[in-house]
Structure 1
Amino acid sequence: MKKTTTRLADGRELIYYDARDDAVRDAVDRRPLEPVATAAEIRHDRLLGDSVAIASHRQGRTYHPPADECPLCPSRDGRLSEIPAADYDVVVFENRFPSLAGDSGRCEVVCFTSDHDASFADLTDGHAALVLEAWTDRTAELSQLPGVQQVFCFENRGAEIGVTLGHPHGQIYAYPFTTPRTQRMLDTLAAHRQRTGGNLFDELLAEERADGRRIILDGDHWTAFVPYAAHWPYEVHLYPKRRVPDLLALDDEARTEFPQIYLEVLRRFDRIFVGRGGGKGGAEGTGAAPTPYIAAWHQAPVHAADRAEFALHLELFTIRRTPGKLKFLAGSESGMNVFINDVPPEAAAERLREVASES
Structure 2
Amino acid sequence: MPSITKRVHSLADGRELIYFDDADTILAPDRAPDLRAPEPRPATATMRQDPLTGEWVSIAAARQNRVFLPPAELDPLAPATPTNPSEVPSNYDVAVFENKSPSFGPAITDADGPRGLDDLATIGIGRSRRSVGRCEVVCFSPEHEGSFGSLTPSRARTVIKAWADRTAALSAMPNVQQVFPFENRGEAIGVTLHHPHGQIYAYPYITPRTTRLIAALEQYGSTLFADILESERASERVVLAGRHWTAFVPFAARWPIEVHLLPHRHVADFAETVDEERDELATLYLRLLRGVDALYDTPTPYIAAWHQAPVNTHRDDIRLMLQLTSPRRSADKLKFLAGSESAMGAWIGDIPPERAADLVRDGIARADRDHPVHPTPGEAAR
Settle same-fold status: TM greater than 0.5. yes
Aligned: 1:126 with 2:148: no
Partner residue, 1:312: 320
* Contact 1:38/1:97, CA 8 A, preserved across alignment: no
Cα deviations across residues 73-95 of structure 1 (Å, max 9, x unaligned)?
A: 1013542110000x100000000
How many residues align? The count is 338
Residue-by-residue CA offset, 1:196-215 (whole Å, 9 max, x unaligned): xx51111111011112x110
Paired with 1:65 and 1:38, the residues of 2 have a C-alpha distance of 25
Report the equivalent of 2:88: 83
Residue in structure 2 matched with residue 98 of structure 1 by the alignment: 102
312-321 vs 16-25, which moves further: 16-25
Structure 1 match to 2:125: none
**How far 1:32 moved relative to its partner?**
2.0
Please state if 1:7 is matched with 2:10: yes
Matches within 5 A, 1:209-228: 209-211=233-235, 213-228=236-251
2:263 pairs with one of 215, 240, 247: 240
Instruction: Verify: 1:188 aligned to 2:216, yes or no.
Output: yes
Q: Secondary structure at the residue paired with 1:307?
A: coil
Q: Which blocks of at least 5 consecutive residues in structure 2 are unaligned?
A: 109-131, 373-382
1:24 to 19, 22, 29: 29
Tell me, yes or no, if the aligned pair for 1:16 and 1:89 is still in contact at 8 Å.
yes
Q: Is the 8 A contact 2:75 2:84 kept in 1?
A: no
Deviation at 1:65, TM superposition (A): 1.0
Which residue of the partner structure matches residue 145 of structure 1?
Answer: 173
Q: How does 1:178-327 map onto structure 2 within 5 Å?
A: 178-193=206-221, 199-211=223-235, 213-274=236-297, 283=298, 290-304=299-313, 306-327=314-335
Distance in 2 of aligned mates of 1:114 and 1:43 = 37
> Structure 1-normalised TM-score?
0.91
Residue 177 (structure 1) aligned with residue 205 (structure 2): yes
The 8 Å contact of residues 158 and 291 in structure 1, kept in 2 or not, is answered as yes
- Conservation of the 8 A alpha-carbon contact between 2:76 and 2:84: no
State the Cα distance separating 1:39 from its structure 2 match: 4.3
- Amino acid in the other structure paired with 2:46: E
Separation of aligned partners in 1, 2:73 and 2:12: 21
Give a deviation string over 1:118-176, Cα, whole Å, max 9, x none.
Answer: 32111111110100000000000001111000000000010110000110000000000
Among 48, 51, 55, which residue is 1:43 paired with?
A: 48
For residues 194-245 of structure 1, the C-alpha deviation after alignment (integer angstroms, 9 at most, x for no partner) is xxxx51111111011112x110001111000000100110000010111211
Segments of structure 1 that go 5 or more residues without pairing to the other structure are 275-282, 284-289
- In the TM superposition, residue 251 of structure 1 has moved relative to its aligned partner by 2.2
Tell me if the contact between 1:142 and 1:174 (Cα under 8 Å) persists in the aligned partners.
yes
- The 8 Å contact of residues 201 and 310 in structure 1, kept in 2 or not, is answered as yes
CA distance in 2, matches of 1:328, 1:25: 47
> Structure 1 stretches (4+) deviating beyond 4 angstroms?
none
